[in-house]
């Protein structure tokens, strides 16, 4: 079987044969969340997409070191070295410590990743845990002549770097256009050029998050942390760097410039970027109200989607589109995904009940298996893979209905391949939608039923009281009456 993997390299703008630097080993760095608010569905799509990529690389037999950072300092409001740190601002508004903000939203992020069945990375470093490494990188960049210090802040000299290098090669932007389009912002007077970006910012007196450095008490620039942490855990040059399409410029562009200014080599062989998630045909934005948080999707507590959908339905919906394509989330699309996912789950159950025959199989099982791998080897094309799984579903149903037959060896191939791609690669599980109903909602319903039963007993309507008890018992919910009241137990 041909397992040559081709990936779309954003740096080259085309698909390329994937060849890791070290045989059978892959180093992969993905930009993680800035933990100043609840993770939104667009972020989740990015991490689900790279979870698919991580899972498939592992399935192919690679040993993968997957690094995904937590940004807990240095990410300013407008991404242009001005304004407040996003975490510090949240802390000031809520009158709590910045690390309380970090802890709250890091816990939320991990909770959502668990619900989506996203595997944890090999290493999850934080920006604040690598201040020393970032300071040392700044020293190297200054010594190489590509950064300068002004009034306690240190800036990267983009124009000087661009004389012998290409700033803009990832995003396709030209330095002349950047110069023409850059407006002078208040507070940027310290910079030689408006395009320059901060490596270290001197903290104003009111700035809470600050660390000592050779230049001032301050904090690192947002772009620097990923360069420092990827170098530490993956080396000066590694295989894959990824993130959302919105990070191409300026974040990833600045990462490339920082790394090349130190080593004069490109730090990454393959740049991968996920595309946007829209909602009801429009860009998701809190300011317009066209926005749903994951939990609001799971429990139905929103005004945009009429019913709750399980995390696995949402994950499956996202995987039905290629990671590089825009995907629009809507009621109809989710309902279609829910039906499709249920069909796959039902086929898994049916597959276990099939008895092989001694005759030949009415289905080219080897060709089908190869088509599944061919889809994933073509830049992780999950929608084509899913289409092939549905081809197998049709065959499984015809065998179950005794209209076609399958040999023992082909049944083994079908079971193994279907399970590998459903569970290991797509990362789906077999929980039903009812299994994932929000426990708070379930508790609320049962408390209401107990109150109705209590009212019936107080009114000496024992017929209704007994009916409620017996009906719940049939659902394996046992009511226990005592002197202090009634309680329930789910068997």
6-274: CATH number: 3.40.50.620
Q: How far apart are CA 462 and CA 267, in angstroms?
A: 75
Alpha helices in 217-364 (DSSP H): 222-234, 253-263, 294-299, 311-319, 331-353
- According to DSSP, the residues that pair with 357 across neighbouring strands are 407
Q: Please give the mean pLDDT across all residues of the chain.
A: 91
Residue indicated by tokens 């090669």: 169
- Backbone φ and ψ for 137, nearest 5 degrees, come out as -65, -40
Fold observed for domain 278-434: Isoleucyl-tRNA Synthetase; Domain 1 (1.10.730)
Residue 325 has pLDDT above 80, yes or no: yes
The pLDDT tens digits for 146-175 are 999 999 999 999 999 999 999 999 999 888
Instruction: Dihedral sign for Cα 357, 359, 362, 364, please.
Output: positive
State the maximum Cα–Cα separation within the chain, in Å, rounded to a whole number: 90
pLDDT band per the 50, 70, 90 thresholds, residue 490: low
Q: How far apart are CA 56 and CA 478, in angstroms?
A: 44
Residue indicated by tokens 């698909």: 15
Q: What is the mean pLDDT of residues 187-191?
A: 69
Phi/psi region, residue 168 (left: phi>0; alpha: psi -120 to 50; beta: rest), is: left
Q: Are 118 and 427 in contact (CB under 8 A)?
A: yes
Residue indicated by tokens 């084509």: 384
pLDDT of residue 80: 64
CA dist 59 to 46, 54, 64, 376, 419, Å?
20, 9, 10, 11, 12
Pick the closest to residue 304 from 325, 333, 276 (CA basis).
333
CA dist 1 to 15, 60, 369, 379, 383, Å?
20, 12, 9, 17, 21
Name the percent of the chain lying above pLDDT 90: 72
Tell me the domain boundaries of the chain. 6-274, 278-434, 438-490
pLDDT of residue 39: 93
Q: Looking at 49-58, 264-273, 362-371, 458-467, which range is the least confident one?
A: 458-467
Cis peptide before 187 (omega within 30 of 0): no
Alpha helices in 156-245 (DSSP H): 158-164, 175-181, 222-234
Q: How far is CA 6 from the centre of its chain?
A: 22
Pick the closest to residue 457 from 419, 430, 418, 485 (CA basis).
485
Which is more confident, 32 or 476? 32
Which is more confident, 85 or 106? 106
Three-state DSSP class for residue 355 = coil
pLDDT band per the 50, 70, 90 thresholds, residue 137: very high
Pick the closest to residue 157 from 138, 183, 174 (CA basis).
138
Most confident of 99-113, 165-179, 358-372, 395-409: 99-113
Tokens of 480: 């226990």
pLDDT band per the 50, 70, 90 thresholds, residue 187: very low
Q: C-alpha angle 412/416/419, rounded to 5°? A: 140
Tokens of 403: 């209209």
Residue indicated by tokens 């330095």: 175
**In the 8-state DSSP scheme, what is residue 378?**
B
Q: How far apart are CA 367 and CA 1, in angstroms?
A: 10
Pick the closest to residue 252 from 244, 85, 62 (CA basis).
244
**In the 8-state DSSP scheme, what is residue 185?**
P
Instruction: Dihedral sign for Cα 362, 364, 369, 371, please.
Output: negative
Pick the closest to residue 331 from 369, 303, 373, 312 (CA basis).
303
pTM for the predicted model, two decimal places:
0.87
Q: How many separate helices (H) and strands (E) can be counted in the chain? A: 16, 15
């Amino acid at each position: 079987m041909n397992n040559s993997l081709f990936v779309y390299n954003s740096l080259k703008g085309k698909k390329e044969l994937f060849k890791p630097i070290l045989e059978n080993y892959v180093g992969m760095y993905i930009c993680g969340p800035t933990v100043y608010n609840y993770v939104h569905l667009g972020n989740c799509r990015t991490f689900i997409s790279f979870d698919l990529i991580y899972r498939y690389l592992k399935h192919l037999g690679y040993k993968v070191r997957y690094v995904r950072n937590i940004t807990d300092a240095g990410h300013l409001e407008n991404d242009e070295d001005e304004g407040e740190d996003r975490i510090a601002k949240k802390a000031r508004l809520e009158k709590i410590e910045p690390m309380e903000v970090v802890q709250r939203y890091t816990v939320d992020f991990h909770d959502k990743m668990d619900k989506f069945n996203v595997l944890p990375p090999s290493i999850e470093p934080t920006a604040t845990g690598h201040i020393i490494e970032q300071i040392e990188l700044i020293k190297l960049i200054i010594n190489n002549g590509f950064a300068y210090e002004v009034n306690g802040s240190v800036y990267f000299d983009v124009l000087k770097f661009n004389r012998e290098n290409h700033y803009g090669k990832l995003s396709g932007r030209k330095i002349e256009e950047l110069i023409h389009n850059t407006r002078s912002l208040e507070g940027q007077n310290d910079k030689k050029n408006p395009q320059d970006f901060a490596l270290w910012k001197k903290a104003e007196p009111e700035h809470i998050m600050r660390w000592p450095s050779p230049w001032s008490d301050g904090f690192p620039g947002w772009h620097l942390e990923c360069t420092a942490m990827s170098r530490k855990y993956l080396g000066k040059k590694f295989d894959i760097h990824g993130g959302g399409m919105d990070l191409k410029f300026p974040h990833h562009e600045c990462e490339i410039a920082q790394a090349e200014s130190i080593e004069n080599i490109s730090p990454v062989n393959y740049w991968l970027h996920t595309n946007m998630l829209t909602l009801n045909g429009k860009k998701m934005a809190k300011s317009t109200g066209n926005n749903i948080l994951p939990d609001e999707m799971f429990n139905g507590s929103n005004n945009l989607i009429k019913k709750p959908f399980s995390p696995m339905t949402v994950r499956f919906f996202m995987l039905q589109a290629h990671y590089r394509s825009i995907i629009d989330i809507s009621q109809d699309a989710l309902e279609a995904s829910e039906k499709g996912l249920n069909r796959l789950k039902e086929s898994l159950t049916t597959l276990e009940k099939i008895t092989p025959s001694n005759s030949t199989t009415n289905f080219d099982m080897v060709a089908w298996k190869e088509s599944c791998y061919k889809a994933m080897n073509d830049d992780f094309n999950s929608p084509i893979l899913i289409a092939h799984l549905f081809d197998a579903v049709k065959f499984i149903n015809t065998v179950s209905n005794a209209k076609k037959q399958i040999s023992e060896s082909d049944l083994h191939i079908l079971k193994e391949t279907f399970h590998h791609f459903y569970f290991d690669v797509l990362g789906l599980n077999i929980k039903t939608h009812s299994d994932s109903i929000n426990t708070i909602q379930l508790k609320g319903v049962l408390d209401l039923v107990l109150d109705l039963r209590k009212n019936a007993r107080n009114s000496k309507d024992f017929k209704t009281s007994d009916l409620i008890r017996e009906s719940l018992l049939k659902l394996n919910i046992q009511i226990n009456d005592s002197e202090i009241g009634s309680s329930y137990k789910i068997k």
